[in-house]
Amino acid sequence: MKHKCFAAVVLAAALWLTGCGGAAAPAGSGAASKSTASTAVQTAQKERITDQWSLEKTVRGEMIGVQKLSIHVPQLVCDSPDAAALNEELAAMYAAEYMDYESYPDAEVPQGEECSQTEINWDAYWYGDCVSLVMRSHDYDDAPWYYSGWCFDFATGRQITTAEMLQRMGLDPDEVQAQVQRQAMQAFDREMAQGAYYEGLRLGGNLSEMRMGTLEYNELENLCLLLPQQDRLVLRGKYCSETDWGWQQLDVEIPLTSAAPADTPALTDTYDGVQVQLEGTQATITLSPAPKTATWDTELNLRLEQAHTYPILGSYNEYVDVCIGQQTDSVFHPVVYLLTKDGVVEYVDVLRCLLFGNAMICQDPIYIANNGVSLERSGSSKVNLRRKDGSVLELADLSSEWSVQEIPYSVIGSYNYTDETGWSWMDLGSDGSAQLGVQDNSRIYRGDAAYLGVVPEGVVLAIFTDAGLDFVAAFKTDLYNENLTLTMIDGQNPFAEGETQLQMSRSYG
């Protein structure tokens, strides 16, 4: 009987490992059979990933001093081309630079002598035949851990993306992506407001760079996928920080089972033809013809003939209050103020967004106006923030000051684009100057660029010229490949008519 039970377990494991690990699961009946099947599955999963190279040694060298090495580099036990390529990539990234130490003699460390520690190891998180392989490493004792992840499907022998792994779990990758980026930005904003690190960052564009870096790092393909328990999914990312190595680890837990939506009331406010509504993660501003908005026609040559609703772009927080006020009395200048659950004020400068394009962008938070509990309109126009200590702070001057910011340094420079119409180019200066040459350089435009905020697609700039070539776009740079991706938000793409997105190469000429 013992031999028959053992044979059954081996057969189950063999079925599970068909090819690279076929999808057949062990069968059985009753509690004892389920327990045996589970053991067989766990054994099979362990056999699918093993160490391809490891080293446990303390070494001494002229350049490195004394180092304790604890290195384990995994390999996928699968004969597919994707598995071979991933194994080679892991070896190159984590093993190659340490292989020479195999020949070093074991070093003795006298008491009191400093010894740094380099540790590299891995964890495997399984979902059926799919595995999320997570590498962790740090260079010395006090250094933060660095994580990298790969997903692989043993049933097909194919490396898969994080988005594909999420789909296998029944999740919508776009919804998960938005949730992770929202939580990352909330963590970033919370730290900035509490630490007051923003003072030297805003004017030079560094603040927007940090917010953009947080969004970019937390794109799905940069995240590690962890399943600490069978019904718990965690995506591990980071947010930009002024403390502790420039980044802080961020773990976002994603429910694997759908829960009933929280019953949170919508937040609304209306002020002279401007209406805002916040409901869940959806935020909109509606502009309607009214006595105050009608003044834009004569004063600013800005005509509003019918009601129009705009989504608010660049808003990532959870909000507890909203209020619309006026920034100046000389012209109708509405500003929508949003109060986050952490007591930080965000705002949408409605008139500024209209003058610079046709999109409502949520500006960077006013971190100095933190510890807020409510927003209230003072008199007929200005909005005040009431804070926990009972003090009241007027927001109009703050939002006006906060809008003044240089163009973020990552997008400053010269760029080229070539298509069937010929050569086009663009120059962006830190002072907001902009020059464009389009249609094989047959037309040259000069103007200005204004920073509006950040969205997942990049830093949002409104570019307007004296010749009427105006547009709003998100700009994101890829420093490794030295190119810039332009994603249109409003207006006509000046470089390629009808295209919503294109890449431009950095120019050093």
Q: Domain holding 429: CATH number?
A: 2.40.128
Q: How far apart are CA 154 and CA 76, in angstroms?
A: 9
Distance CA 343, CA 337 (A): 12
- On the question of pLDDT at 330 being above 70, the answer is yes
Distance of CA 117 to the CA centre of its chain: 31
414 vs 100: CA distance, rounded Å: 44
Most confident region among 242-246, 259-263, 325-329, 392-396 by mean pLDDT: 392-396
> Given 255, 278, 304, which residue is the final one in a domain?
255
Q: 7 and 147 share a domain? A: yes
Torsion of CA 209, 212, 217, 221, to 10 degrees: -140
CA-to-CA distance for 367 and 189, rounded, in angstroms? 8
**From 286-290, 299-303, 384-388, the region with the lowest mean pLDDT:** 299-303
Judge whether residue 141 has pLDDT over 90: no
Same domain, 250 and 332: no
| Lowest mean pLDDT segment, chosen from 95-104, 194-203, 429-438 | 194-203
Residue 280 confidence (pLDDT): 87
In-domain check, residue 79:
yes
Task: Specify whether 195 is located in the same domain as 234.
Answer: yes
35 within a domain of the structure (yes/no) = yes
Q: How far apart are CA 193 and CA 369, in angstroms?
A: 8
In-domain check, residue 304: yes
Residue 244, pLDDT > 70, answer no
Residues 280 and 393 in one domain: yes
Choosing from 377, 402, 427, the residue where a domain stops is: 402
In a shared domain, residues 446 and 465:
yes
Question: Residue 380 falls within a domain, yes or no?
Answer: yes
Which pLDDT score, from 0 to 100, does residue 286 have?
97
- Calpha distance 187→192 (Å, rounded): 9
Predicted local distance difference test score (pLDDT) of residue 480: 82
For residue 337, is pLDDT > 80?
Answer: yes
Do residue 40 and residue 132 come from a single domain? Answer: yes
My answer on whether 31 and 99 are in the same domain is yes
- Look at phi and psi of residue 413 and say left if phi exceeds 0, alpha if psi is from -120 to 50, else beta: left
Q: Which of 332-341, 408-417, 428-437 has the highest mean pLDDT?
A: 332-341
Backbone angles phi, psi at 141, to 5 degrees: -55, -45
CATH code at position 98: 3.30.565.40
The verdict on 331 and 423 lying in the same domain is: no
Is 49 exposed, middle or buried (CB count within 10 Å of its CB: 0-12, 13-18, 19+)? buried
Say what the pLDDT of residue 260 is.
62
- What is the arithmetic mean of pLDDT over 87-96? 97
Residue 372 to residues 322, 344, 345, 377, 396: CA-CA distances in angstroms? 12, 6, 8, 14, 15
Query: Domain of 125?
Result: 2-160
Number of domains in the chain: 4
Q: Which of the 8 DSSP states describes residue 259? A: -
Amino acid 369 reads: A
Question: Would the pLDDT of 10 be above 60?
Answer: no
Residue 338 counted as domain residue = yes
Distance CA 464, CA 472 (A): 9
Does residue 260 lie in a domain region?
A: no
By C-alpha distance, which of 308, 336, 361, 309 is closest to 473? Answer: 361
Question: CA-CA distance, 348 to 269, in Å (whole number)?
Answer: 13
Q: What amino acid occupies position 66?
A: V
**Helix/strand/coil percentages in the chain, nearest 5:** 25, 40, 35
Q: Among 143, 137, 300, which residue's Cα sits nearest to residue 224?
A: 137
Query: Phi, psi (5° rounding) for residue 213?
Result: -60, -35
Residues 327 and 437 in one domain: no
Mean pLDDT of 387-400: 92
Boundary-marking domain end, from 139, 160, 181? 160
Q: What is the pLDDT of residue 196?
A: 67
* 354 and 503 inside one domain: no
In a domain, 261, yes or no: no
**Radius of gyration for the alpha carbons in the chain, expressed in angstroms and rounded:** 28
What average pLDDT score do residues 151-159 get? 97
* Most confident stretch, 33-37, 188-192, 194-198, 479-483: 188-192
Residues 191, 93 share a domain: no
Say if residue 147 is in the same domain as residue 176: no
| pLDDT score, position 87 | 98
* Residue at 262 is within a domain: no
The average pLDDT across 379-386 equals: 89
